[in-house]
Amino acid sequence: MPADREMILGKVRDALAPLHERAKLPSYDGAVELARTRADAADPMAEFAARIRGVNGEVVPDAPALAALLRTRGWMRGYCDPALWGSLEPHFGEGFHVELSFDRARVDDYQFGITRGAGAIAETGTIILNDTTTSTRLAALAPWAHVAVIPRKALHGDLMAAVAALGSDPNVIWCTGPSKTADVEGILIEGVHGPGAQIALFTA
Amino acid sequence: MKTQQIDQFAAGVSEETRHAVYDGSKVGHEKRTKVLFDHFGAPDRLRRLAGEIKQHVIENLDTYLPAVEARLAANGVKVHWASTAQAACEAVHSILKARGATRLVKAKTMVSEEIELDAYLRERGIESLETDLGEFIVQLDHDHPSHIVKPIIHKNRAQIAALFEKNGLGAYNDDPATITQRARQFLRHKYLEADAGLTGANFVVAESGRMVVVTNEGNARFCLAATRCHIALVGIEKILPSDGDLALFLNLLARSATAQQLTVYNEFILGPRAPGQPDGPDETHVILVDNGRTDVLASDCRDILRCIRCGACLNVCPVYRQAGGHAYRSVYPGPVGAVLSPLLLGKRFPEKADLPKASSLCGACNEVCPVDIPIPDLLLRLRDKAHTEGVPSPGTPPMGAWALMATRPVAWRAALAGGHLLNHLPTSLIPVPALRAWEQSRELPPWRGGAFRAWLKMRRKPGTGT
């Protein structure tokens, strides 16, 4: 609405006109202001592992461990990004049914979805997904378990570093543990719309 | 005697609801304090800094708004402007109509409540479904949210279970996990069938045009993964100067709202989905909504536009804890709502001019505010505005007689002496109506008027030797 645009901007200008002085933008160094002592910050991988467990997420050391975890939980049907399956398949063995395309008409058929993660944040145990590297948004969201396969070198120390790395991807999403709600009487329930299990696997 | 509107409402709140609201908000507040102070040595410094940044933005909206518009457009986002609720509803409708869309899923948008979008779209044959669990329950029950981040803080599991049963979402079961699973199953198919997803935005960055949408449930992400069209309803005050500011604000928002280090899902949106990405919108629209915000900007209460909707001031407020969110008769309850809601009404300010009086001015809301809004000062300014404009104030004790007495020493001395009569009067005969109302639920201490003066008079002056 072009008329609305002019009206709003006109009202904004009128509202601000009487101000003799406008509030200045404070200059600050985020790294200094947000610095805090993090006991395990010296070892980002250990810090990430501790933080993701703190939000009920999980981290597995390698592909065989991932396959074993999925098997233990009885999650044998799922989706995998075709670009990852070549390196994962040899470790999965008998009994798994893995599809390389995600059919949105059958969202409930997938117990897990394995997609590429673009990075991670040690300070918070966060998995970072970028639109350009995530094979399908739905496969990282709709199945009960989501596994992000993340390049080890893309582990950021803290939020400041992760914000600085946002770049020009049209859609970046940070996922910190399973989807959760406490709407009913403040009781924490996981897996409300998205994954009930959020799993990270780092690769060299 | 007639009590204030908020007291009248609070009197009708059930014990069950009062306990739910009280406990929920108290726990929220205690956790917030712990996590902020455990993590940061001087969180107050961070709050002040964030406040200065947002104050700078709102006092420079005349340059920030065109900058945001240009950035969004450069990112491939279609920008719309809506000066009123009606215009905002029309903007949403015309986008949907152009796509032949009839099913809309919504997440994280208080503005859509503010503009009463659901009813507008329903009349035009469009289903508009809330997807946040609490908001979904509220919508099913034709109720309203009563807290900014915990919309059904006023409901218990039994009420929800009965509501689900009534709406065909399974036989009565009040286990919270079962309730959540049922909503999960129902809503995921709604997302997948929907034609468009509507969200708000927690922040829009001027430098990059990046929109940030924050949820714990992942419902906004589902809207943006399952549908082909994203519409964001954004209040004009939601701007941050640069991407670098996001770290500060996300750190503060999650801790202040839910005492989390970081909210589960933080989505950073520049525009439509990436080439090659099969899911998500091919069209992104942003509707910049005024709906009274420029009136707030023109007032001496513009600081309230710093608000990032964390709900911390609700949790800590003694009035909110007793009265609950519905008592504020507004989309925005609690201390922030007591300032914002009357102002957003513009010329209809008198309709909610009572809200700024629903405060003891204890200052706790200011102390917890992540953007350091001086809410008590703003409440006082609004009380003054109501007084200056001659808005009737039913239920508030008249102060004229008090002022007369307190400014005349003779009258004051007489009142101090006469006050002793109060100790012998039954409550029903107390001559001051406000005191009578007060005594209905509390007891006045015994009158000791004049004791201090007597003591002062009799006291030996130090150093006089007598």
Binned at pLDDT 50, 70 and 90, residue A36 comes out as confident
| Start-to-end Cα distance in chain A | 51
Residue B269 in contact with partner chain A when CB distance is under 8 A: yes
Mean pLDDT of A16-35: 94
Statement: residue B49 has pLDDT above 70 = yes
User: Which domains, and CATH codes, for chain A?
Assistant: 39-203 (3.40.50.10420)
| A/B interface, count of CB pairs below 8 Å | 262
Q: Which helix (H) or strand (E) holds A129?
A: strand A126-130
Q: Is the dihedral of CA A172, A176, A179, A183 positive or negative?
A: negative
Candidates 3.40.50.10420, 3.10.450.50, 3.40.50.10490, 3.30.460.20; correct CATH number of B42-291?
Answer: 3.40.50.10420
CA distance A124 to chain B (A): 7
CA nearest neighbour of B261 among A55, A184, A65: A55
What residues form DSSP beta bridges with A174?
A128, B266
- What's the mean pLDDT when you consider all of chain B? 93
What residues form DSSP beta bridges with A145?
A112, A197
Q: Choosing among A184, A187, A198, which should be mutated to test the B contact, i.e. which has the most B CBs within 10 A?
A: A184
Residue B277: left if φ>0, alpha if ψ -120 to 50, beta else—which one? beta
More confident residue, B90 or B419: B90
Q: Say which DSSP state A167 is in.
A: T
B144-195 per-position pLDDT tens digit: 999 999 999 999 999 999 999 999 999 999 999 999 999 999 999 999 999 9
Which B-chain residues 200-219 have CB contacts (< 8 A) with chain A? 208, 210, 216-219
How far, in Å, CA of B267 to CA of B258, rounded? 18
CA nearest neighbour of B369 among B148, B125, B117: B148
B250-259 per-position pLDDT tens digit: 999 999 999 9
What share of chain A in percent tops pLDDT 90? 91
Residue B138 in contact with partner chain A when CB distance is under 8 A: no
A144 to each of A73, A136, A161, B62, B365, how far by Cα in Å?
11, 15, 30, 46, 39
B111 to each of B66, B167, B175, B234, how far by Cα in Å?
21, 26, 32, 7
* B137 chain-A contacts, CB cut-off 8 A: 183
Q: At A69, list the tokens.
A: 């975890």
How far, in Å, CA of B145 to CA of A183, rounded? 11
What residues form DSSP beta bridges with B412?
none
Q: Is the Cβ pair B266, A36 closer than 8 Å? A: no
Q: Are A81 and A101 in contact (CB under 8 A)?
A: no
Q: In the prediction, which pLDDT does B323 show?
A: 92
Length of chain A: 204
Domains of chain B, residue spans: 42-291, 401-458
Q: Are B178 and A187 in contact (CB under 8 A)?
A: no
CA angle A155, A161, A164 (to 5 degrees): 120
* A34 chain-B contacts, CB cut-off 8 A: 40, 46, 247-248, 251
Statement: residue B463 has pLDDT above 70 = no
B146 to each of B156, B320, B379, how far by Cα in Å?
13, 10, 20
